[in-house]
Structure 1
Amino acid sequence: MYSIIGLTGGIASGKSTASAYIAEKGYPVLDADKFAKQATAKGGPSYNGIIDAFGEKILTEDKEIDRKKLGAIIFNDPQQRNVLNELVHPEVRRMMNEERDRLVEENHVFLDIPLLFENGLDDQCDITLTIYVDESIQKARLMDRNGLTEAEAESRIGSQMPLSSKRDRSDFVLDNSGTRENLYAQIEEFLTKIEK
């Protein structure tokens, strides 16, 4: 019997690093963000609805959705963000579920979902796994990585569920406050557990 493992974290927590390492170890990792890009790409299942809702002003010259322009609209407006989520999330879920159901026949499947708990998707997982980092480290990494001011970094971190809440709701927690090697060692330990 193979497990469905919900993998989550926060901005600059190291979730993508963990995801990439798990995939390298031969486990399927389904990335919600990649499915969201497919859903919102020209010709994707959410594309027309997004243009109807937000207008053609969000398009690039080649009629793709300009993620920066759309992001600027939804980032500070929860109502607009909900409109977008209602157009995109059901499609992402449908596409991910199809892949998951196919792959879980042969292996453990990791679902890389930033909003795992926020969207109640932890219910669909056998195991939940959070990549945790202390908020001060998270802020420093985000400022460094994205060239943000402290206020900008705090605003982005503040727009997400606190990592401490995700940590407290998770079955397993990997602490990424140390080195990359340390994170990899914790992943190895986790993979050994699920293989038993």
Structure 2
Amino acid sequence: MRVGLTGGIASGKSTVSALLAELGAVVIDADQLARDVVAPGTPGLARIVDAFGPEVLTPGGEMDRPKVGALVFADPDKLRMLEAIVHPLVRERGAELEAAAPAGSVVVHDIPLLAETGQAERFDAVVVVDVPQETQIERLLRDRAMTREDALARIAAQATRDQRRAVATYVIENTGTREDLRQAVAEVFERLVPS
């Protein structure tokens, strides 16, 4: 069973991902893979240096994420260049990890931008972690020390709640307690396990 997992910023998607792993799912984290494929010494990092120049490296030879972020988020063409390098490498590595999963596994691809990148059809099911926008804002102010303006900008840069919900097979509402969330995740996982 191939499952896509997504949710807006501060929705609790990472917590749901961890709970699914506890229940026995094989979780493939796209954010982690995006870091792995541009680690020092990788072809991915070499391609980024070719595209953007050696000034995108830290003194230690790693990709300077804040510098690259500032470059690409100010220029849509540069963002597309970066995505054209990183996204195929992430998908390739994800496919390798999925192929290595034990037969009969629930394989969860944790993809923050699943709705934005039109990947829903790649999966047998899509799980969306959802909260109201005001909850996202409260969490971003509290947990990430963002200003309200920064929080709104981050939320606006992602798919809307309606766009995410439109691709969902299952929606997990994350507005209750941690125990409520654990129960909701367990119920969805039970439906995902191949019978």
Same fold per superposition (TM over 0.5)? yes
Match of 1:191 in 2: 189
Q: What is the match of residue 181 of structure 1? A: 179
Q: Helix, strand or coil: the match of 1:20?
A: helix
Cα distance in 2 for residues equivalent to 1:52 and 1:67: 16
Shift of residue 100 of structure 1?
1.1
Partner of 2:125: 127
Q: Is the 1:4–1:104 Cα contact (8 Å) retained in structure 2?
A: no
- CA RMSD in angstroms, aligned pairs only: 1.3
Shift of 1:158: 0.7
TM-score, length of structure 2 as denominator length: 0.94
Preserved CA contact (<8 Å) 2:6 2:13: yes
DSSP 3-state at the match of 1:177: coil
Is contact 2:3-2:124 (8 Å) kept?
yes
Report how many residues are paired: 194
By how many angstroms is 1:114 displaced?
0.9
Distance 1:74 1:143 in 2: 25
Q: How do 1:112-191 residues align onto structure 2 when only pairs under 5 Å count?
A: 112-191=110-189
Map residues 1-196 of structure 1 onto 2, 5 A cutoff: 3-103=1-101, 105-195=103-193, 196=195
Letter in 1 for 2:140: L
- Partner of 2:78, secondary structure, is helix
- With the length of structure 1 as denominator, give the TM-score of the two structures: 0.94
SS, match of residue 191 in structure 1 = helix
Residue pair 1:128, 1:170 contacting (<8 A) in 2 also? yes
- The runs of 5 or more residues in structure 2 that have no matched partner are none
Q: 2:27 and 2:2 mapped to 1: Cα distance?
A: 10
Matched-pair identity in %: 39
Relative to structure 1, is the Cα distance of residues 123 and 155 closer, same or farther in structure 2, using a 3 angstrom cutoff?
Answer: same
1:132–1:176 CA contact under 8 A, matched in 2: yes
Question: C-alpha deviations, 1:104-159, integer Å up to 9, x for none?
Answer: 62411101011112222212100011000101101111121111111111111111
Partners of 2:186 and 2:115 in 1: how far apart? Answer: 24
Segments of 4+ moved more than 4 angstroms: none
How far apart are 1:59 and its partner, in Å? 1.0
Render the CA deviation track for 1:1-22: whole Å, top value 9, x for unaligned: xx10100111111000100111
Separation (CA, whole Å) in 2 of partners of 1:104 and 1:81: 36
- The offset of 1:72, in angstroms, is 1.6
Most deviating of 8-17 and 175-184? 175-184
